[in-house]
Every structure is written in C-alpha cells, then in structure tokens.
Amino acid sequence: MNILLIGSGGRENAIAWKLSQSKSLDKLFVAPGNAGSSRFGVNTPLDPNDHPAVCDFIVSNKVDMVVVGPEEPLVRGLADAILADKRTAAVAVIGPQAHGAQLEGSKDFAKAFMVRHDIPTARYRSFTSANVAEGEAFLDELRPPYVLKADGLAAGKGVLIIDDLAEAKKELRAMLDGMFGSASATVVIEEYLSGVELSVFVLTDGKGYVILPEAKDYKRIRDNDEGPNTGGMGAVSPVPFADAEFMRKVEDRVVRPTVEGLQKDGIPYKGFIFLGLMNCGGEPYVIEYNVRMGDPETEVVMPRLQSDLVDLFVATAEGRLSDETVKVDPRVCTTVMLVSGGYPGSYAKGVAMSGFDAVDSDSILFHAGTKSDADGRIVTSGGRVIAVSSLADDIEGALSRSYRNAEKIKFDGRFFRHDIGQDMIRIRDQRAAK
Ligand code: AMP
Ligand code: GLY
C-alpha cells in the first residue's frame, strides 16, 4: 500500500512514524513534511489546496490512500476533490469531506449538531451583525466569565474568555466587525464550563468506531498555565481521571451519539474525530470537535497505540471498523515540546540545531517546525520545533526521560515548559489516597 500523508507538523511526524512500522506499507509520501518526516517517508512539495495537483500526484505515484493531518485542507474540500476525480475516486481518504469537516470549520454548525443529537455541551446562541443587540442581551443573561467564539477557522485564536461584561460586549462587536476576518462574521456565545479538559480521539468509518488513547494537552506558554495560548506545549496519556466509568459516559453520551448523529444527518465521515472535552464534576461536556488528531496529543497517542495503523485505516476505508479493537500500551507516554524563543508571538527561523546524536533510545523525537537547510543541516522553521516523547511505567518515569532528552537538543532561544504532567500526578495521587 502506498500512502500520501498531508501535513508538516509533529502530529504528522508521529503518524508517519507509526505508519512506517506497518508491514502493509510499501511507500510513504509526506507532503510537505519536515526534517524529521524524511526518516519515515519521502518528503514531497505538494500544496494540499491545489486539488488537481494532488490528484495528479496520486495517479502518477500509484497512491492507494491519502491521510490528511490538518483540518484546513478538509474544510476546503480536499477529500471531496479526490472522490470527485474519476482517476482517484477509488482512493481511500482518511479525513472527512467538507460537510463533515464543518464540525470543526463552523462552531455554529457543531453546536447545532450537538443540540440536535442531545450531546452534552455548554448552552449557547449564535449572532451576526444583524442581531448584535440580542447578543448583548444574551451576555446580560450569562454569568462571567464570558466565552466568545469566532464561528470559522481562526488558527486556534478565535476564542476569547472575558471576565468583564462591558468588555465582552465590546469584543463581541469587534469580532463581528472582522477581528478574525470572515471567520468571526458569526460569533457563538456560550456558557463557561469549569473543570479539567481532556482530549479524546475517535476513528470512525461513519458507522463503526474505535476509541484511541485519551490525552491531556498543555496549551499555555508558561508553567502553571500562565501566559498566552499556544498550539500545545506538551501532553500526557493516559489521563488519570479518565477511568472506565468516565470513559463509559464519554462513549455513551458523546461518541456514539456523534457517530449516529452523522448517520442520521446523512453526513459521510471516514476519519478522526477529536473531542475536546471538559470534565465537569465527573460529567463530560463537549467544548469542541476537531476533524483531525491533536497536536501534540498525537505525539503521546501514537507511541501507546499497539495496533497496526495502516490496518485500522484500511478498515476505516472499507467500513469495517465495528469489527476492530485497538490494542493500547498500558504505559504512560509524555511529550515535551521545544519551542522557538518568542513563540507564540514572533520568533526567529532558520536557527541552527544540535544535539540530536546525544538523544538516547528512551525518547522518540517528533519534528514539528524543522527543515534541512541547503547544506543538509537541521534548522528551526516554526514556533513549535520538536516534541520529545517517552514511554515509561509511570508519569514521573516518562517525564524524566522526556526532560533528560529535551535538554540535549540545543538551539538559540529554545524554550519549554517544566511542569508538563504535574497536575496529572496530583490528580492521580489524590485518587489513590481516596
Ligand atoms: P476551542 O477552540 O473551542 O477549543 O476553545 C479554546 C479553549 O477555550 C478551550 O480549549 C478551552 O480551554 C476554552 N474554552 C472554550 N469553550 C469554553 C467553555 N464553554 N468554557 C470554558 N472554557 C472554554
Ligand atoms: N492540541 C490541541 C489541538 O490540536 O487542537
């Protein structure tokens, strides 16, 4: 089987690493990939939004399956384009068509879907500039903090959480006036949920599904969850509070109703569903859907997945997922993200990196923003640079491996959080003490 994997981040490195271990894999192309993905496949300069070019590539390289890492190409109809081209219509695509991708591409669509299918989520209403006064009145009804979300894709920045009512009203108008371009022409206002977040990953063929290991992500730039939001500074899997009882609630109240809801609505869907959940006193609520895997969560999910990923994808394409079970490594996986100085604000690119040879086999390096320069040396090329993932019997063991090897990768401005997983250690110990 020849596979084309779309994407260039740590998530795609982790997927490529896992795919490359499959006996069913012949050739892996990663488009565009990065300095790390060339260890697992052939990097290929392809623009995922140039649909004819992608279809031509599939034909000329005898690609049997396309795995789409990020959401944007899906929202922009890459899967639809591959299915619509007679030459590529039979190629398996892991990732939904544009209709299903609206679960992530439009918060208003996702909220209406959840309400329609009785899936627990925060109470909400959507507003445009035509009914901004109603939006202000809705804010008057809610208690702080106020949650304002741009309806469309806003590169992870479209959610504002505001304590002050007058400021929330001001920001509502600013969003509707184009703060996030057309993405905030519609704004979802919703109730604030307090609790601990976790990410749950589902692979579905539209009828059957499997649930992959869950993970906890660390979004803020600095220790103790301070500073601005980032794409994610580290992750841990499993999540101590996601015990059998909690996960049964997640499956019964969220996963199954979501897959059944897609069927009822006539929305075909073959791919990942990432549930951003809030654990509110033991009850799962959906904060968001994503139509892809998480990053850096994938960097802790893939090392724990013992099942063959190519086989799971083939079962997805053939609609046989209800017959599949996933085998999961019971050990803990942690990842620590090394980022460029200044991230998530502006940062330098092309910074020389060293220390790769010193990293021992206790960790796996998943490259995110790296590339090979003209002389073949690895340099930085993004805000999030490398995820250092490690497995061990407990969180402490995995963290000590990740941090030991994280220290060895050097580049000017390198920054990382030092408290990844500490809250999970506390939660685990509190539960054990009960
Ligand atoms: P989203 O893009 O919808 O995941 O929102 C980004 C982040 O904002 C989430 O990861 C949460 O930390 C936070 N958030 C979003 N919606 C809510 C909510 N209703 N209550 C509390 N926090 C929220
Ligand atoms: N780490 C969160 C995300 O991938 O959206």
- Among the bound ligands, name the one nearest to the CA of residue 9: 2
What single string gives the DSSP state of each residue in 221-262?
EEGGGEEEE-S-SEEEES-TT--HHHHHHIIIIIIHHHHHHH
Ligand 2 centre to CA of 293 (Å) is 8
pTM for the full model?
Answer: 0.96
For ligand 2, what atom is nearest to the CA of residue 231? 1
At residue 434, the pLDDT reads 84
Q: Which of 106, 149, 159 to mutate to test the pocket of ligand 1 (most atoms within 8 A of CB)?
A: 159
Ligand nearest to the CA of 201: 2
- Contact in structure between 94 and 78 (CB atoms under 8 Å): no
Cβ–ligand 2 contact at 297 (below 6 Å) = yes
How far apart (Å, rounded) are the C-alpha atoms in residues 189 and 314?
A: 39
- Residue 277 C-alpha to ligand 2 middle, in angstroms? 12
SS3 166: helix
Report whether 208 contacts 321 (CB < 8 A).
Answer: yes
Q: Is 288 in the pocket of ligand 2 (CB under 6 A)?
A: no
Q: What are the strands of the beta sheet with 92-94, ordered from one edge?
A: 42-43, 27-32, 2-7, 65-68, 92-94
> Which of 15, 75, 199, 201 to mutate to test ligand 2, by most ligand atoms within 8 A of the CB atom?
199
Contact 19, 310 (CB under 8 A): yes
Q: Say what the pLDDT of residue 40 is.
A: 97
Atom from ligand 2 closest to the CA of residue 293: 4
What's the chain's length in residues?
434
* Ligand 1 centroid distance, CA of 339 (Å): 23
Q: How far is the CA of 413 from the centre of ligand 2 (A)?
A: 23
Query: Atom 2 of ligand 2 has which residue's CA nearest to it?
Result: 294
The answer to whether the beta carbons of residues 189 and 141 sit under 8 Å apart is no
**Residue-wise over 252-283: b if at least 16 C-beta within 10 A, else e?**
ebbbebbbebbeeeebebbbbbbbbbbbeeee
Cα(43)–Cα(374) distance, integer angstroms: 15
**Preceding omega of 240 cis (within 30 degrees of 0):** no
Expressed in angstroms and rounded, the spacing between residue 287 Cα and the centre of ligand 1 is 6
Considering every ligand atom shown, identify the ligand nearest to the alpha carbon of residue 199 and give its number: 2
**Distance, CA 175 to ligand 1 centroid (Å)?**
17
For residues 191 and 120, give the distance between their C-alpha atoms in angstroms, rounded to a whole number. 12
Ligand 2: centre distance to CA 374 (Å): 31
Contacts of 322 by beta carbon, 8 Å cutoff, 6+ apart: 205, 207, 208, 209
Taking only the tens of pLDDT, the chain with its 434 residues reads 999 999 999 999 999 999 999 999 999 999 999 999 999 999 999 999 999 999 999 999 999 999 999 999 999 999 999 999 999 999 999 999 999 999 999 999 999 999 999 999 999 999 999 999 999 999 999 999 999 999 999 887 899 999 999 999 999 999 999 999 999 999 999 999 999 999 999 999 999 999 999 999 999 999 999 999 899 999 999 999 999 999 999 999 999 999 999 999 999 999 999 999 999 999 999 999 999 999 999 999 999 999 999 999 999 999 999 999 999 999 999 999 999 999 999 999 999 999 999 999 999 999 999 999 999 999 999 999 999 999 999 999 999 999 999 999 999 999 999 999 999 999 999 999 98
Q: Whose CA is nearest to atom 1 of ligand 1?
A: 288
